[in-house]
Amino acid sequence: TKSFPFSVSVVTILSRSHGDRNVYPSAGVLFVHVLEREYFKGEFPPYPKSGETGNDPITFNTNLMGYPDRPGWLRYIQRTPHSDGVLYGSPTAEHVGKATIIEITAYNRRTFETARHNLVINIMATEEFPLPFQAEFYIKNMNVEEMLASEVLGDFLGAVKNVWQPERLNAINITSALDRGGRVPLPINNLKEGVYVMVGADVPFSSCLREVESPHNQLRCSQEMEPVISCDKKFRAQFHIDWCKISLVDINKVVPIYITRADPGNGILPEFGEYDPPSESLKARDFFADFLITLAVPSAVALVLFFILGYTMCCRREGVEKRNMQTPDIQLVHHSSIQKSSKELRSMSKNREISWPLSTLPVFNPVSGEVVPPIHPDNYETTSMPLMQTQTNLQNQITIPQQRPSGQCLLESLHSRQTDSICMFTV
């Protein structure tokens, strides 16, 4: 156990008969007990190889004897298995005179062996408890295990004493910002969790501590700006304090609240007579009304909606006759003539007796000599049609008539009724 200045001290007595460690903290004063790994290393066997220094990972489990957890005022923290564990907290006046036995179990994570010791906490009363003026600081650049170190806590109390100038100054409690709803910081830029440190003194707050209550600094805090505190430079070298979160409490001005609690009694229920179970013959229950509500009513609503939809879709249609009546006659005649002409062109195209286009004639492969059959125009795809094809058989092709002079064409037309030439008359 380490001792702290400024009334943060613990008296330790080691009992040889049972191996229990006794500590005597004071009520209302911060209690810190370090579980040193070196102390428990002797309980475990050394390394099998000689000359090697053992650095086994050791973790601790602490609980109140006979219970699975610790008392409400006592906290425990161990950052890594290769660091020491710390028990800390602030006992209150209601724990004075009661011996609190804490079971400490050390686990060797390499050999899976355990060692157990008991820590007997004897809380002592103090005349200074409680100190009337209490101030709570929020330090942003510290973790709780770093703040619990005797050197760091002593430096902070020394800085507070230079600013406050009290006769008695005690560290009352230390709380991690995570226990107050803070978030775990990102592992960048060496960010810390933050810690709340409450100290108490016997003199009123100094003018420097009162500066945060000025309207100007309150306005800056509401705008998330850092207030201007004259004594901040005395902390800035080692501790970054968030002055907007400082709390100054004068317990002499605090109105006490008395809560009346009911008498718990002796734990025995009053006499209510013998237990009377329900009869074996239970009354039958009619579920017809429940059936109507859960099944018939939704079915009726769905049927009504079905009829409304059917009437809207089938009985409210305009129809072809109404549409034709509202359409101008000239537009109907125009549409009818276009449709009639389209049908006539389709029927004429099926009965024509002309040669197939060049793209549908047989194709000759110059490499293999194979003649590819023609592609019918009704079942070919334009995407797979070749760009150029070579025709080998032009039996069905009609000879293109040639132009002839007008006089010769006239004489030939007189001797023959059929001709393949086209007579061109020029004026």
pTM assigned to the model? 0.56
Is residue 188 a part of any domain in this protein?
yes
The number of distinct structural domains making up the chain is 2
Is residue 377 a part of any domain in this protein?
no
- Reported as type and span, the H/E element at residue 119 is strand 114-122
Judge if 216 and 152 occupy the same domain.
yes
Which of 40-54, 79-93, 121-135, 412-426 is the least confident region? Answer: 412-426
Q: Answer whether residue 6 shows pLDDT above 80.
A: no
Is residue 310 a part of any domain in this protein?
no
Q: Give me the mean pLDDT over the 410-415 stretch.
A: 44
Judge if 138 and 248 occupy the same domain.
yes
Q: Answer whether residue 356 shows pLDDT above 50.
A: yes
Parallel, antiparallel, or unpaired for β 12-14 and 21-23? antiparallel
Is residue 329 a part of any domain in this protein?
no
Judge if 115 and 140 occupy the same domain.
no
Where is pLDDT greater, at 97 or 259? 97
Q: Which of 197, 224, 253 is the last residue of a domain?
A: 253
Is residue 84 a part of any domain in this protein?
yes
Which of 80-94, 232-246, 342-356 is the least confident region? Answer: 342-356
Is residue 389 a part of any domain in this protein?
no
Where is pLDDT greater, at 257 or 245? 245
Judge if 103 and 194 occupy the same domain.
no
Is 49 in a helix, a strand, or coil? Answer: coil
Judge if 68 and 162 occupy the same domain.
no
Give me the phi and psi of 200, to 5 degrees please.
-130, 150
Q: Answer whether residue 1 shows pLDDT above 50.
A: no
* Confidence at residue 11, expressed as pLDDT on a 0 to 100 scale: 38
Judge if 105 and 60 occupy the same domain.
yes
Give 296-334 pLDDT, tens digit per residue: 889 999 999 999 998 888 877 766 777 777 778 888 888
Where is pLDDT greater, at 408 or 240? 240
Q: Which of 223, 253, 283 is the last residue of a domain?
A: 253
Q: Answer whether residue 294 shows pLDDT above 80.
A: yes
* Confidence at residue 305, expressed as pLDDT on a 0 to 100 scale: 95
Q: Write down the mean pLDDT value for the chain.
A: 77
Is residue 175 a part of any domain in this protein?
yes
Parallel, antiparallel, or unpaired for β 85-89 and 21-23? unpaired
Is residue 284 a part of any domain in this protein?
no
* Confidence at residue 97, expressed as pLDDT on a 0 to 100 scale: 82
* Confidence at residue 152, expressed as pLDDT on a 0 to 100 scale: 92
Residue span of the structural domain in which 179 resides: 133-253
Parallel, antiparallel, or unpaired for β 58-64 and 169-176? unpaired
* Confidence at residue 42, expressed as pLDDT on a 0 to 100 scale: 78
Q: Give me the mean pLDDT over the 403-423 stretch.
A: 44
- Reported as type and span, the H/E element at residue 38 is helix 37-41
Q: Which of 253, 284, 309 is the last residue of a domain?
A: 253
Judge if 189 and 221 occupy the same domain.
yes
In percent, the amount of the chain with pLDDT more than 70 equals 71
Which of 23-27, 80-84, 321-325 is the least confident region? Answer: 321-325
Judge if 89 and 147 occupy the same domain.
no
In percent, the amount of the chain with pLDDT more than 90 equals 30
Nearest to 120 by CA among 5, 11, 4: 11
Judge if 119 and 137 occupy the same domain.
no
- Reported as type and span, the H/E element at residue 159 is helix 150-164
* Confidence at residue 104, expressed as pLDDT on a 0 to 100 scale: 93
Q: Answer whether residue 361 shows pLDDT above 60.
A: no
Judge if 82 and 174 occupy the same domain.
no
* Confidence at residue 363, expressed as pLDDT on a 0 to 100 scale: 58
Confidence band (pLDDT; 50, 70, 90) for 360? low
Q: Answer whether residue 390 shows pLDDT above 70.
A: no
CATH code: domain of residue 109: 2.60.40.10
Where is pLDDT greater, at 254 or 350? 350
Q: Answer whether residue 15 shows pLDDT above 50.
A: no
* Confidence at residue 335, expressed as pLDDT on a 0 to 100 scale: 86
Judge if 140 and 219 occupy the same domain.
yes
Judge if 95 and 139 occupy the same domain.
no
Parallel, antiparallel, or unpaired for β 99-108 and 58-64? antiparallel
Parallel, antiparallel, or unpaired for β 195-201 and 21-23? unpaired
Sign of the C-alpha dihedral computed for residues 386, 390, 396 and 399 taken in this order: positive
* Confidence at residue 392, expressed as pLDDT on a 0 to 100 scale: 46
Q: Give me the mean pLDDT over the 415-423 stretch.
A: 43
Give 126-153 pLDDT, tens digit per residue: 776 778 899 999 999 999 999 999 899 9
